[in-house]
Structure 1
Amino acid sequence: MKRVSILIPAYNEEESLPLLYRRLADLMDAQPMYAWEVLFVNDGSRDHTLAILAQLRESDPRINYLDLSRNYGKEAAMLAGFDYVTGDCMVIMDADLQHPPELIPDMLRLWEQGYDDVYARRRTRGRESFLRRRLTAAFYALLRHTTRVPMQPNTGDFRLLDAVCIRALRRLRESQRYTKGMFSWIGFRKHELLFDQQDRVAGQSKWGFFKLLNLAIEGITSFTVAPLRIASVCGAIVSLLAFAYGLFILLKNLIYDDPVAGFPTLMVTILFLGGVQLLCIGIIGEYLGRIFTETKQRPVYFVSSYNGERAD
């Protein structure tokens, strides 16, 4: 009997967990041909998430939970799940039921046909602001056009991965992670499933504007050096423009005896060049910061307990 693991990172999801468990239990009971494991990763929740997971574990041995020592973020929580799942395949989904569990049988059917990565692509995004949708579309477009890795647009973490993909992801240990890009980078045989993303059943999204912006920067700096090349091109263009403008001022003064407006010209030139330099330094700083973080080689996460037992 093949074993299917469901990986669910959870951070302050006490309101969603009872509803999520009921739908997962219905799914598992309707698919007795598989052995099921549901692994929750409690990412340092401050509410009663951990206590609810312990209660679910007592009532259903198919439920396992991993308690991290603090809040490391969803990307690190998923890596912890990769390390602890035991299934022949793994389904990653959110705890807020925006990812419908009823899609999992379709994923399993495609997995049985030989696909290693069955990813769910959003047909609709549920209740999101117009600005967030446009910025998300712009980010995916930018990432696809600046990296050689084929990125799937409008696709999140909701997917089924074969054990071969899980083993590959375990080997990617960088601390600043963009897992959506890693799914594409490792390759293997992929298939798309369309789905309608649901609204949260309870609570509020943990992904504010600045967290999404930080994740976007992680994605860009993890999978492309295009910003560095853009900075180099900007430097070359500004140098050429400055040379052309200096030549124009010189000829204008020699031919027409036209006095140079010194102070305004100087201030505009200094501010423009200073802005370009600061932008380029900032881009270089983002990459240097990643190098600094990775060279320390710190573990991505620490585990406090597994199924209520203290970690060694």
Structure 2
Amino acid sequence: MKTLSLVVPCYNEEETIPLFYQTVSKVIDKMNTPTPTVTPEYIFVDDGSSDNTLAEMKTLHQANPETVHYRSFSRNFGKESALAAGLQATTGDLVAVMDVDLQDPPELLPKMFALIENDGYDCVGTIQKERRGQSKLRAFLSSSFYRVINRISDVRIEPNARDYRLMTRQFVNTVLDLPEFNRFSKGIFSWVGYKTTYLTYESQPRAAGKTHWSLGQLFSYSIEGIIDFSNAPLRLATWVGSFSFFLSIIGLIFVIVRALTVGGSVAGWPSLVVIMLLIGGIQLFCLGILGQYINKIYLETKHRPKYIVREEK
């Protein structure tokens, strides 16, 4: 019988934790009927919550000390750090990453397990169809992100892929061998390769509570992914700078020819100011792109831990 580790990042999810445990436990019980198949190992990660999330985790651990474990951060480090902490704490033969809000249907676990056990897959990921209630703007930005990153990156990320996936121990160990501080899990899961397939499912509403991801946070997360898995922005800055230089040469030739053939200087300081602002803006734009990559290098070279665990059981 194999051990199935379930990594569950949580941030202010006191309402959903009991519901998640009850729902997943029922699915595991069905998997073990009539023949015991898996032994569950729950790894809840408290990402610096300010509500009673940690208290709910402790309650579950006290009731199920052998199967329920938790790690609590000293502050909020972000979901990527929570995922890394959860994966590092697992001991199972198979490892699943799931959101606690039950938008990732646990009912898929038996099918994912069968694909790995019977068909030889190393990873079974999931793709969620368009979320119910999602704004058109958010849906457009999401689809645009996947189109952009798949066009400019060597690593293909399945559109609308979720973090929800089931992985073999070898797959997880390979992911954990990647030491980078800046992590974009969707890209990392695709980058390591292995035999992977995806299941598609209908969107599910949250079991309780509200989402903690704002549109601005999702946009920043998208930028992180693009920078982590592509140098296309740097190439863009190079081409923009080259194009600006080319235009300046054309402009210089025009001014010299005009002075030699017509005489006098070109009047109009407002147009000169506009051109200066345009060139200055292009320079700042390119410096901003370069600065993002330098910032990534800076964070990597400091060798700070991805998270700090204050308490764990």
TM range (shorter): over 0.9
The answer on 1:98 being equivalent to 2:127 is no
Residue 198 of structure 1, CA deviation: 1.1
Deviation at 1:123, TM superposition (A): 2.0
Give the residue type in structure 1 aligned to 2:31.
Q
Counterpart-to-counterpart distance in 1, 2:115 and 2:57:
30
The one of 169, 183, 195 aligned to 1:163: 169
SS state at 1:96 partner: coil
In the alignment, structure 1 residue 36 sits paired with structure 2 residue 71: no
The equivalent position to 1:206 in structure 2, one of 212, 217, 222, is 212
Q: Does 1:51 align with 2:55?
A: yes
- For the 8 Å contact 2:130–2:139, the answer to whether it is kept is no
Alpha-carbon contact 1:173-1:300 (below 8 Å) kept: no
Q: How does 1:213-232 map to 2 (within 5 A)?
A: 213-232=219-238
Shift of 1:249: 3.3
Aligned residue runs from structure 1 range 170-185, under 5 A: 170-185=176-191
Tell me the equivalent position of 2:243: 237
> What residue number does 1:70 align with?
75
Unmatched 5+ residue regions in structure 1?
308-312
Q: Percent identity?
A: 39
Give the SS at the match of 1:230: helix
Distance 1:222 1:132 in 2: 22
Residues 75-126 of structure 1: CA deviation (Å, up to 9, x unaligned)? 0010001111111111111011111111111111111121011110112323
From 188, 194, 209, the counterpart of 2:200: 194
Q: Assess if the C-alpha contact under 8 Å between 1:124 and 1:195 holds in 2.
A: no
TM value normalised by structure 2: 0.94
Length-normalised TM-score, structure 1: 0.95
Q: Report if aligned partners of 1:43, 1:72 keep a CA contact under 8 Å in 2.
A: yes
**Quick check: 62-71 or 79-88, which moved more?**
62-71
Distance 1:192 1:220 in 2: 22
SS of residue in 1 equivalent to 2:129: strand
Cα offset, 1:239, TM superposition: 0.8
Aligned Cα root-mean-square deviation (Å):
1.4
* Structure 1 letter corresponding to 2:304: R
Deviations 1:208-235 (A, max 9, x none): 1221122112111111111011000011
Residue 83 in structure 1 maps to residue 88 in structure 2: yes
* 12-21 or 57-66, which deviates more: 57-66
1:304 aligns with 310
Deviation at 1:22, TM superposition (A): 1.3
Post-superposition shift, 1:54? 1.2
**1:20 counterpart residue number:** 20
Cα distance in 2 for partners of 1:245, 1:57 equals 72
Is there any run of 5+ residues in structure 2 with no aligned partner, and where? none
SS in 2 for 1:7: strand
Q: How many residues align?
A: 307
The separation in 2 between residues aligned to 1:73 and 1:152, in whole angstroms, is 23
For residues 172 and 78 of structure 2, the distance between their equivalents in structure 1, rounded to whole angstroms, comes to 19
Amino acid at match of 1:28: I
Structure 1 runs, 4 residues or longer, greater than 4 Å off? 256-259
Distance in 1 separating the partners of 2:159 and 2:241 = 31
Q: Deviations over 1:122-170 (max 9, x none)?
A: 1232321110110111111111111111222111201111111110111
1:59: Cα distance to partner? 2.1
